[in-house]
């Protein structure tokens, strides 16, 4: 494993810079747009352009890699992403900002595909799971660090936007000076929406709804913090705690789902989310109880963010090994579709129902998830005898990352569909 890590040092360092910049930019734009007087619903629409761009990136970027190679694709996309961050300083309208968010989503998605395909070329069956775990920690840790950088300056200035551009540009350096040969690349397979729904309706529905929840959390939580009077640094810390909670709970919740029926976990986590949301919605004087607020938001992230991983593992339990990579890649795209709706729904909830509207929305999505999982418990197939191990996932992974899943034996190839 250490040999694989050493051969991927340039990739990991470049990804750290990318994730810090992406995490910082997402929240920075919400705060800057709020300062400029954009409505909450307008901010949500603007931020929803990012996952739309990500979907386009997942379709187009693989063909760029085949055409010009990993290094040139990475360099081109990082350069455009760096420029798009700076454009926000010279335009002040939702249309141009939405266009830049779409462009940013396209570029970052393409950058992740380059990184993940490169990493897959360095992995073998013995190191695949470990490399994916390290990659997951870098992604979530980088987003968390990016939130904390909001303490360095006010969103009203230019410093943070320039810092984002610098970090994206720095991600190029280790990739360009690496002496490692680039791996070969093939277009990943896909499974259609209808085929996937027949194979695993719970995995598809749960991932889509969780995409809505995560999209709402990452955008509307900043609007919540602004509405209750938090400074930009405190808002970054709030989102950082949410992300950190999700990162710390991924592996324990995944291990629990390996031991019991995953549908019980998919029911239990949202069932705990609803009272947490109620507590946050009714919390009095959150400014005076900021430590408690940070802790409860960390719990909220711990309950919501890992559910996508559990839904994907549940789906894979009922697939043939030959179907897993293609189905998981399609599920990544379905999560992204959910994330298109999340920022807008979360922003509208805050705008029309006050800061607590975000938690009302998350309660509704949790209730939908509970209802779907209970229905599958009553009407679906029984728990499989030999479930595969749950693998931690984040919303920033692309379909290419599914090639990094630990190879599964053929013992489950004749299991019934869920």
* pLDDT confidence tier of residue 326, bands split at 50, 70 and 90: confident
Q: Say what the pLDDT of residue 285 is.
A: 87
Residue % of the chain over a pLDDT of 90: 51
Backbone angles phi, psi at 410, to 5 degrees: -85, 15
Specify whether the CB–CB gap between 297 and 245 falls below 8 A. yes
* pLDDT confidence tier of residue 355, bands split at 50, 70 and 90: very high
Spatial neighbors of 169 by CB under 8 A, at least 6 apart, are 78, 79, 82
Give the Cα separation of 291 and 34 in Å (integer): 24
Specify whether the CB–CB gap between 44 and 347 falls below 8 A. yes
In the block, residue with structure tokens 């709030």: 238
Residue 417 pLDDT exceeds 50: no
Specify whether the CB–CB gap between 83 and 379 falls below 8 A. no
Lowest mean per-residue pLDDT among 174-178, 203-207, 345-349: 174-178
Spatial neighbors of 296 by CB under 8 A, at least 6 apart, are 276, 279, 280, 283
Mind giving me the DSSP string for 158-222?
SHHHHHHHHHHHHTHHHHHH--SPPPP--PPP---HHHHHHH-HHHHHHHHHHHHHHHHHHHHHH
Specify whether the CB–CB gap between 314 and 330 falls below 8 A. no
Lowest mean per-residue pLDDT among 91-100, 178-187, 301-310: 178-187
Closest-CA residue to 50 (of 348, 366, 365, 344) = 344
**Coil, strand or helix: which one is 393?**
coil
pLDDT single digits (tens) 249-295: 988 998 898 888 888 999 999 999 999 999 999 998 888 888 999 99
Q: Say what the pLDDT of residue 142 is.
A: 92
Dihedral sign, Cα of residue 208, residue 315, residue 396, residue 102 = negative
Residue 347 pLDDT exceeds 50: yes
Count Cβ atoms below 10 Å from residue 291 Cβ, excluding itself: 8
In the block, residue with structure tokens 């400074």: 231
Residue 416 pLDDT exceeds 50: no
* pLDDT confidence tier of residue 405, bands split at 50, 70 and 90: low
pLDDT single digits (tens) 135-170: 888 889 999 999 999 999 989 899 999 999 999 999
Average per-residue pLDDT for the chain: 86
Closest-CA residue to 27 (of 157, 233, 222) = 222
Spatial neighbors of 383 by CB under 8 A, at least 6 apart, are 260, 261, 262, 263
Specify whether the CB–CB gap between 334 and 199 falls below 8 A. no
In the block, residue with structure tokens 């549940």: 314
Hey, what CATH class is 2-176+188-412 in?
A: mainly alpha
CA 303 vs. chain centroid, Å, equals: 14
* pLDDT confidence tier of residue 401, bands split at 50, 70 and 90: confident
Buried b (16+ CB within 10 A) or exposed e, 207-216: bbbbbbbbbb
Count Cβ atoms below 10 Å from residue 194 Cβ, excluding itself: 8
Q: 112: which 2 tokens?
A: 């992740």
pLDDT: which is higher, 408 or 190: 190
**Coil, strand or helix: which one is 106?**
helix
User: Which pTM does this prediction carry?
Assistant: 0.87
pLDDT: which is higher, 254 or 10: 254
Residue 245 pLDDT exceeds 90: yes
Lowest mean per-residue pLDDT among 130-134, 253-257, 371-375: 130-134
Closest-CA residue to 196 (of 371, 26, 295, 326) = 326
Q: 220: which 2 tokens?
A: 């509307």
Q: 293: which 2 tokens?
A: 């607020």
Residue % of the chain over a pLDDT of 70: 87
pLDDT: which is higher, 55 or 380: 55
Specify whether the CB–CB gap between 189 and 325 falls below 8 A. yes
Mean pLDDT calculated for residue range 203-224: 93
Specify whether the CB–CB gap between 311 and 207 falls below 8 A. yes
Lowest mean per-residue pLDDT among 195-204, 306-315, 366-375, 378-387: 378-387
Residue 343 pLDDT exceeds 60: yes
Closest-CA residue to 102 (of 336, 361, 400) = 336
Q: Say what the pLDDT of residue 182 is.
A: 62
Residue 211 pLDDT exceeds 80: yes
pLDDT single digits (tens) 29-49: 999 999 999 999 999 999 999
pLDDT single digits (tens) 47-106: 999 999 999 998 888 888 888 888 889 899 999 999 999 999 999 899 999 999 999 999
Mean pLDDT calculated for residue range 357-385: 86
Closest-CA residue to 331 (of 355, 353, 352, 307) = 307
């Amino acid at each position: 494993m250490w040999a694989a890590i050493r051969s991927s040092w340039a990739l990991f360092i470049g990804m750290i810079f990318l994730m810090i910049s992406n995490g910082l930019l997402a929240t920075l734009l919400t705060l800057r747009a709020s300062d400029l007087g954009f409505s909450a619903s307008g901010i949500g629409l603007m931020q929803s352009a990012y996952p739309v761009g990500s979907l386009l990136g997942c379709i187009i970027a693989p063909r760029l890699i085949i055409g010009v190679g990993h290094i040139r694709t990475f360099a081109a996309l990082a350069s455009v992403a760096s420029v798009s961050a700076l454009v926000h300083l010279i335009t002040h309208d939702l249309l141009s900002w939405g266009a830049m968010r779409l462009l940013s989503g396209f570029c970052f998605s393409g950058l992740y595909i380059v990184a993940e395909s490169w990493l897959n070329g360095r992995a073998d069956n013995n190191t695949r799971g470990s490399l994916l775990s390290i990659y997951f920690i870098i992604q979530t840790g980088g987003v968390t660090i990016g939130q904390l950088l909001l303490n360095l300056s006010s969103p009203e200035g230019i410093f943070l936007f320039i810092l984002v551009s610098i970090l994206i540009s720095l991600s190029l350096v280790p990739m360009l000076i690496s002496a490692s040969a680039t791996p070969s690349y093939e277009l990943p397979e896909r499974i259609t929406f209808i085929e996937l729904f027949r194979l695993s309706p719970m995995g598809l529905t749960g991932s889509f709804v969780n995409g809505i929840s995560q999209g709402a959390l990452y955008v509307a939580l900043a609007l919540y913090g602004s509405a209750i009077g938090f400074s930009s640094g405190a808002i970054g810390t709030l989102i950082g705690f949410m992300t950190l909670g999700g990162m710390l709970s991924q592996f324990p919740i995944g291990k629990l789902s390996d031991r019991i029926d995953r549908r019980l976990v998919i029911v239990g986590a949202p069932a705990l989310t609803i009272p947490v949301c109620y507590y946050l919605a009714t919390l009095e004087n959150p400014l005076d109880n900021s430590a408690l607020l940070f802790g409860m938001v960390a719990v909220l992230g711990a309950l919501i963010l890992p559910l996508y991983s559990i839904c994907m593992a549940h789906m894979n339990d009922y697939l043939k090994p030959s179907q897993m990579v293609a189905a998981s890649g399609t599920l990544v795209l379905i999560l992204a579709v959910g994330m298109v709706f999340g920022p807008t729904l979360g922003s509208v909830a805050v705008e029309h129902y006050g800061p607590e509207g975000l938690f009302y929305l998350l309660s509704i999505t949790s209730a939908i998830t509970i209802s779907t999982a209970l229905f599958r418990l009553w009407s679906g197939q029984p728990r499989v005898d030999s479930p595969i191990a749950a693998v931690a996932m984040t919303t920033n992974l692309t379909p290419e990352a599914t090639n990094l899943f630990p190879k599964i034996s053929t013992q489950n190839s004749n299991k019934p569909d869920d």
